Amino acid sequence: MIPQSTIDQILEAARIEEVVGDYVSLKKRGTNLIGLCPFHDEKTPSFNVSPTKGIYKCFGCGKAGTSVNFLMDHEHLSFPEAVRFLGKKYGIEVAEEEQTDEQKEADRTRESLYIVSGFAQRFFTETLHETDEGKAIGLTYLRQRGVSPDMMERFLIGFAPDKWDGLLKAATDQGYNPEFLDQTGLTLSGEDGRRHDRFRGRVMFPIRNLSGRVIGFGGRTLRTDKKTAKYINSPESEIYHKSNVLYGLFEARKAIVDEDSCYLVEGYTDVISLHQAGVENVVASSGTSLTEGQIRLIRRYTPNIVILYDGDAAGIKASFRGLDLILQEGMNVKVVLFPDGEDPDSFSKKHPGDEVRTFIRDNSKDFISFKTGLLWEEAKGDPIKKAGLIKDIVRTIALIPDAIVRSVYVKECAGILDVEEQALVSELNKLRRDKGRQKYKRSEEAPWPEEDEYTERTPDNRVHSLEPPVQDTGMYQERELIRLLLQYGGNEILIEKSTEEEQPADNKPEMVPMTVANFMIGELQADGISLRHEGYGRIFDEICRLVSDGEVPDEKQFFRHADPTVSATAIDLLSSRYVLSENWEKRGINVETEEMVLKKSVYKVIYSLKQNHVMDMIHQNQEKLKQDLSDAELAEVMSMQNLLNLAKVQIASQLERVILK
């Protein structure tokens, strides 16, 4: 196990904005950062990162946590794996305490797939550069293709020897379990049951996840035999899911954010050649049809996609469905067609990066106009084909979520297709009504639980409550109590000194400093007030223990709490969706912050909780009046009722005074 002191050291060093920023494009908003949530599908950013608190919170799906939580959720790491990852990132040695055999085995199982994939990458790279076969075949081919040594190193390119057991033998000689080679698809078994290498005699292109770890491979044959597949790829595995991976994204992330645009190509060599020309904001779908998962990966970094085509009409038409998906996600998609006989790979080898960028900029067309123009040429003179084309174009426009963008495209396409704009509008409205009815029908058949900002989706896509929504004012005040204790518990406010001696009317009361935690806890305990909400009560009890031990409650203690429910509740309470812009202060706009009126907030919560407590006691007392009481008992209950009513009036008066201050 990892010692708690090491975990604390790593969490102190880890900067949440850096950790999350490796996966999500973040933009500054006040003191916080915002971006599109990587955990659910959204078009308007609701994912907030607070560098000062070291936490993130999505106000759309409810996901929240620290740097460790983010890596656990995003990269599907265990807690120890996430801590080790951060330790490596920030140069902190993770010295682990002795684990049980079960713990070791659980950690090893998932990690082993990454380890054997990493070993395979190193084996292929060494084979390329250090063996006669690799140099003569693989390295010669790459040099002929113009791939520089820098690109070979950046993309970890290697070569698989033309042997049935080259990798298998090297791995087993090094003590690696061949079962893990099977699970990653690096080896497979023939009809005779004998295990052998999947990749043989091929140039190898490692595929990395967003953390930079190798999760799969693409291998290109150098044989001219037409029966041999030009490319073969790793099969799906526990660590490699093709529909959620884009080749080159690990290397391109920063450039995509900087350029606010992503170029999408088809193959590995397209990506590498463009990088070599200095165009780095490029990724590849690796020959597979574009998927929703891949589109959402790109959208984390930019809403702008440019598809680079090599001029093959059949290939372009086959990709239309994937481009429709991009539009459906509310993204901006453009298309660039390279000259006949050219593709991104060959073109970038003949032109420097500036010329490549200029060509892409000057030849970019929006997808719908491009699709309309391409198909219109085929439909000319054929009314049936023309009608089918119009419906096809309208179906594409109907996918766009923004009504204004749809309207612009309708007007533009009406001119290109030479049809009445109203005809397109009518067809568009019909399609969207049909889609709405289908959506409504599905929702009736399978209703989904209503969500609010306190809920999150679990991996099986069910809704799991982090904290129940506030249902009454009493619950709201308990929530505010815990929030103030966590956020300002160590802050001091001036409190009127209590004294039994009667003070002259003209004397001002003596004020003494007291921490927010000491004052609030003392006031509630003096009146015997306990919290009704179990979750808040647990946090309150823990804060009381800290204060009684002379410690100051620290919000980060609760963010990192061993109980995930406590940490999730603490993060939720202290995550603010809206923050004041720093520019306001620079421009002389002074806005009253909570810290400036902290005493008022504290008193308001205390008096509100006391008021709720008195109202509960009044209700209980009234219930006693319904019982068959003796004269003495009745007199006692009535006396108590009068005292409670008096207390209610006094507290209400104090509360009103606080609110009006």
Same domain, 423 and 557: no
Q: Considering the domain boundaries, does residue 449 fall inside one? A: no
Same domain, 225 and 336: no
| 141, pLDDT greater than 60 | yes
With a pLDDT cut of 70, the percent of the chain lying above it is 85
With a pLDDT cut of 90, the percent of the chain lying above it is 26
Cross-strand pairs, 105: none
**Among candidate residues 58, 38, 60, the one with its CA nearest the CA of residue 48:** 58
Q: Considering the domain boundaries, does residue 537 fall inside one? A: yes
| 468, pLDDT greater than 70 | no
| 585, pLDDT greater than 70 | no
Same domain, 494 and 558: yes
Q: How far is CA 129 from CA 2, 199, 269, 504, 624, in A?
A: 39, 17, 19, 93, 90
Same domain, 570 and 654: yes
Same domain, 161 and 70: no
| 191, pLDDT greater than 90 | no
Same domain, 477 and 592: yes
With helix as H, strand as E and coil as C, how does 360-405 read? HHHHCEEHHHHHHHHHHHHHCCCHHHHHHHHHHHHHHHHCCCCHHH
Same domain, 232 and 254: no
pLDDT of residue 218: 95
| 512, pLDDT greater than 70 | yes
Query: What's the rounded mean pLDDT across residues 135-149?
Result: 95
Number of domains the chain is built from: 4
CATH code: domain of residue 17: 3.90.580.10
Same domain, 565 and 650: yes
| 466, pLDDT greater than 60 | no
pTM of the predicted model, to two decimals? 0.59
- Tell me how far apart the alpha carbons of residues 646 and 272 are, in angstroms, rounded to a whole number: 80
Q: Give the side-chain half-sphere CA count within 13 A for 559.
A: 27
**Among candidate residues 39, 19, 62, 11, the one with its CA nearest the CA of residue 577:** 62
- Tell me how far apart the alpha carbons of residues 116 and 99 are, in angstroms, rounded to a whole number: 23
Q: Give the side-chain half-sphere CA count within 13 A for 551.
A: 11
- Residue in the structure block whose two tokens are 């223990």: 545
Q: Considering the domain boundaries, does residue 170 fall inside one? A: yes
Q: Considering the domain boundaries, does residue 183 fall inside one? A: yes
DSSP 22-54: TTS--EEETTEEEE--SSS--SS--EEEETTTT
Same domain, 515 and 649: yes
- Which of helix, strand or coil describes residue 630? coil
Same domain, 288 and 423: yes
| 569, pLDDT greater than 60 | yes
Poorest-pLDDT segment among 96-105, 136-145, 295-304, 533-542: 96-105
Q: Considering the domain boundaries, does residue 447 fall inside one? A: no
Domain that holds residue 587: 473-660
Phi, psi of 91 (to 5 degrees): 70, 35
Highest mean pLDDT pick, 160-164, 227-231, 422-426, 511-515: 160-164
pLDDT of residue 501: 56
- Tens-place pLDDT, residues 447-458: 333 333 233 333
> Mean of the per-residue pLDDT values for the chain?
81
pLDDT of residue 458: 36
Query: What's the rounded mean pLDDT across residues 369-378?
Result: 79
Structure tokens at 435: 């889609």
Contact of 579 with 31, CB cutoff 8 Å: yes
Same domain, 204 and 277: no
Query: What's the rounded mean pLDDT across residues 420-443?
Result: 71
pLDDT category of residue 81 using cuts at 50, 70 and 90: confident
More confident residue, 655 or 211: 211
The last residue of one of the domains, among 199, 219, 239, is 239
| 392, pLDDT greater than 90 | no
Same domain, 622 and 587: yes
pLDDT of residue 607: 85
| 445, pLDDT greater than 50 | no
- Long-range CB pairs of 495-500, under 8 A, 24+ apart, other chains included: 495/519
Q: Considering the domain boundaries, does residue 463 fall inside one? A: no
pLDDT category of residue 305 using cuts at 50, 70 and 90: very high
Q: Considering the domain boundaries, does residue 95 fall inside one? A: no
**Among candidate residues 107, 237, 98, 119, the one with its CA nearest the CA of residue 172:** 119
Contact of 282 with 288, CB cutoff 8 Å: no
pLDDT of residue 161: 97
Give the burial string for 486-506 (b: 16+ CB within 10 Å, else e): bbbbbeebebeeeeeeeeeee
Structure tokens at 98: 């002795």
CATH code: domain of residue 118: 3.90.980.10
Cross-strand pairs, 335: 307, 365
pLDDT category of residue 479 using cuts at 50, 70 and 90: confident
CATH code: domain of residue 356: 3.40.1360.10
More confident residue, 503 or 391: 391
pLDDT of residue 175: 93
- Tens-place pLDDT, residues 8-25: 788 878 889 989 998 898
More confident residue, 377 or 368: 368
Q: Considering the domain boundaries, does residue 467 fall inside one? A: no
**Among candidate residues 162, 190, 171, 11, the one with its CA nearest the CA of residue 85:** 11
pLDDT category of residue 219 using cuts at 50, 70 and 90: very high
More confident residue, 618 or 444: 618
pLDDT category of residue 408 using cuts at 50, 70 and 90: confident
Query: What's the rounded mean pLDDT across residues 380-389?
Result: 81
pLDDT category of residue 41 using cuts at 50, 70 and 90: confident
